[in-house]
Amino acid sequence: MFTTRGHVPVSGPSRLLARVCAHLADHGVSVALANDAAQIVLGAAHGCVRVAGVGLEAMVSAPDLGALRALRAAIASHVLEFAPPGVEVVMTWEGDGAGEAPPPDFRLLTVMGTQTLTPHMRRIHFHGEDLGHFDTLDALHVRLFIPPPGVAAPAWPLMDVNGRLVEQPADRRPAIRKYTIRSIDTGAGDLAIDFVLHDDAGPGAAFAATARPGDVIGVAGPGGRGLRQAERYVFLTDETGLPAVARMLEALPDDASGLVMAEVADTAGRQPLKAPAGVTVTWLYRGGQNASRLADAFETLAWPEDGPGVYLWAACEHAAARLIRASARARLRSGRDQHLIVSYWRNGMAEEQHASHKLQEQKGAAAADPAPV
Ligand SMILES: Cc1cc2nc3c(=O)[nH]c(=O)nc-3n(C[C@H](O)[C@H](O)[C@H](O)COP(=O)(O)OP(=O)(O)OC[C@H]3O[C@@H](n4cnc5c(N)ncnc54)[C@H](O)[C@@H]3O)c2cc1C
């Protein structure tokens, strides 16, 4: 068993502990708080955080260092995040797992082979060790860490003892891009990802276009919301969401019903989709025009009056996602958990800029209308 003990002097420790516990519980961590002491369980790790004088004391134990670091990071990063502003708060640790280490969910992937799916889509087969935590349909996407071309020793991400990412040299720092696990076999250590080979290729598409056996990238996650149980499924997607839709279709029960609207550039962009008999697949073609037709297609759906039995999943370019979201807001009565409408990329913007705009828009939307879409 590995153990580590931490201490942080801070004002208002009871309130801080309650806030950290509420946040961790909201994110699915098992937490029991009583009499200013919290028992916290994350995976194989167990922690106790308690009020001690003017501050908090923490103890974490786990059978392996990865689990120990994950829970220590979860506790420390939130203690520091929620500590009262204005005063520098320092959390110190002693015991096992000292020093910097890769984030607990980070792994390396080695390219094993590639496969051309369509003129603009390439599947890459990777091999990795200890991939078990990626094998879930509840969270489908991952962050890929793509080293700058020609860099022999990439600066992979490192975390300090408090779960904060360490600043890495810019010239060796990998670019981070979100992709979907198309298939995974944890026993064999195989993982496949389908990449769109788009014009104006950024690090993601450029890596996919040139990947060769032996190339190494990083992966962390998984994240996002995945497949939900529903009476009926409606999937809307362009090429970027096809890997997720294909994977979800394969996991649906045989008697599932619903529809898929999949948009690609032209007929050559179609891919075989293995869907249950009750799920119809319609292909849409952008043709010579770049504008997505998905939002118009969504308008044509005769939406059931009472939405709750339907799971709507949409992923596409930003402008189309915006239109679908606005239409869904007007037409659906379902709860937030029953649909997911996501902008997977934004015309004219690299992922970093797209992500920061998305964050600003989400903050703006939450301030203007706290009701979920
Ligand atoms: C949760 C999630 C899961 C995703 N899963 C997948 C997946 O499995 N497979 C996949 O291929 N993509 C997927 N994407 C989309 C992918 O992350 C983006 O397309 C990303 O921008 C690609 O990175 P890049 O480095 O190639 O281009 P960037 O550096 O981000 O952008 C460079 C330029 O290319 C343009 N561009 C980016 N993507 C496209 C595109 N698809 N078509 C045309 N132009 C584009 C941008 O507008 C920009 O002008 C996913 C996105 C999210 C959010």
The mean pLDDT value for 284-289 works out to 86
The dihedral through the CA atoms of 195, 196, 201, 202 has a sign that is negative
pLDDT (tens digit, 9 = 90+) per residue, 343-360? 999 999 999 999 888 888
- Mutate-to-test residue for ligand 1 from 141, 239, 240, highest number of ligand atoms within 8 A of CB: 240
| pLDDT at position 71 | 95
Tell me the one-letter amino acid at 79: V
Res. 331 pLDDT band, cuts 50 70 90:
confident
> From the CA of 15, how far away is ligand 1's center (Å)?
42
Res. 57 pLDDT band, cuts 50 70 90:
very high
| pLDDT at position 366 | 63
Instruction: Enumerate residues 6+ apart whose C-beta is below 8 A from 348.
Output: none
> From the CA of 90, how far away is ligand 1's center (Å)?
38
Q: Is 163 in the pocket of ligand 1 (CB under 6 A)?
A: no
**Considering the domain 107-223 in this protein, what is its CATH number?**
2.40.30.10
Ligand 1, atom nearest to 179 Cα: 5
The mean pLDDT value for 313-328 works out to 93
DSSP, residue by residue, 242-293:
HHHHHHHHHHS-TT-EEEEEEEESSGGG-------TEEEEEEEE-TT--S--
Cα torsion 7, 47, 29, 37 to 10°: value is -70
> From the CA of 353, how far away is ligand 1's center (Å)?
12
Per CATH, domain 2-95 is 3.30.310.50: yes
User: What's the mean pLDDT when you consider all of the chain?
Assistant: 92
The least confident of 80-84, 129-133, 303-307 is: 303-307
Q: Which CATH number is correct for 232-368, 1.20.1050.10, 3.90.470.10, 3.40.30.10, 3.40.50.80?
A: 3.40.50.80
Q: Which protein residue's CA is at the shortest distance from atom 51 of ligand 1?
A: 344
State yes or no: pLDDT of 335 exceeds 90: no
d(CA 27, CA 21): 10
> From the CA of 203, how far away is ligand 1's center (Å)?
9
Residue in this structure with the two tokens 């015991």, named with its chain if needed: 95
The mean pLDDT value for 316-336 works out to 83
Q: Which protein residue's CA is at the shortest distance from atom 17 of ligand 1?
A: 178
Q: Is 226 in the pocket of ligand 1 (CB under 6 A)?
A: no
- Mutate-to-test residue for ligand 1 from 123, 196, 316, 342, highest number of ligand atoms within 8 A of CB: 196
Ligand 1, atom nearest to 238 Cα: 41
> From the CA of 88, how far away is ligand 1's center (Å)?
39
Q: Report domain extents, the chain.
A: 2-95, 107-223, 232-368
**With pLDDT > 90 as the criterion, what percentage of the chain qualifies?**
78
pLDDT (tens digit, 9 = 90+) per residue, 27-36? 889 999 999 9
| pLDDT at position 333 | 61
pLDDT (tens digit, 9 = 90+) per residue, 149-188? 999 999 999 999 999 999 999 999 999 999 999 999 999 9
| pLDDT at position 373 | 35
pLDDT (tens digit, 9 = 90+) per residue, 232-274? 999 999 999 999 999 999 999 999 999 999 999 999 999 999 9
State yes or no: pLDDT of 47 exceeds 90: yes
> From the CA of 74, how far away is ligand 1's center (Å)?
30
Res. 308 pLDDT band, cuts 50 70 90:
low
| pLDDT at position 170 | 94
The mean pLDDT value for 55-59 works out to 96
> From the CA of 202, how far away is ligand 1's center (Å)?
8
Q: Is 142 helix (H, G, I), strand (E, B) or coil?
A: strand
Instruction: Please state, in angstroms and as integers, the Cα–Cα distance from residue 150 to each residue in 124, 210, 237, following that order.
Output: 20, 12, 34
Q: In sequence order, what are the beta bridge partners of 92? A: 7
The mean pLDDT value for 68-95 works out to 92
pLDDT (tens digit, 9 = 90+) per residue, 200-227? 999 999 999 999 999 999 999 999 888 8
Of 286, 330, 335, residue with least CA distance to 312: 335
Res. 88 pLDDT band, cuts 50 70 90:
confident
H-helix or E-strand spanning residue 102: none
- Mutate-to-test residue for ligand 1 from 122, 183, 198, 361, highest number of ligand atoms within 8 A of CB: 198
Q: Which protein residue's CA is at the shortest distance from atom 43 of ligand 1?
A: 198
Q: Is 179 in the pocket of ligand 1 (CB under 6 A)?
A: yes
| pLDDT at position 310 | 87
> From the CA of 260, how far away is ligand 1's center (Å)?
21
Ligand 1, atom nearest to 244 Cα: 8
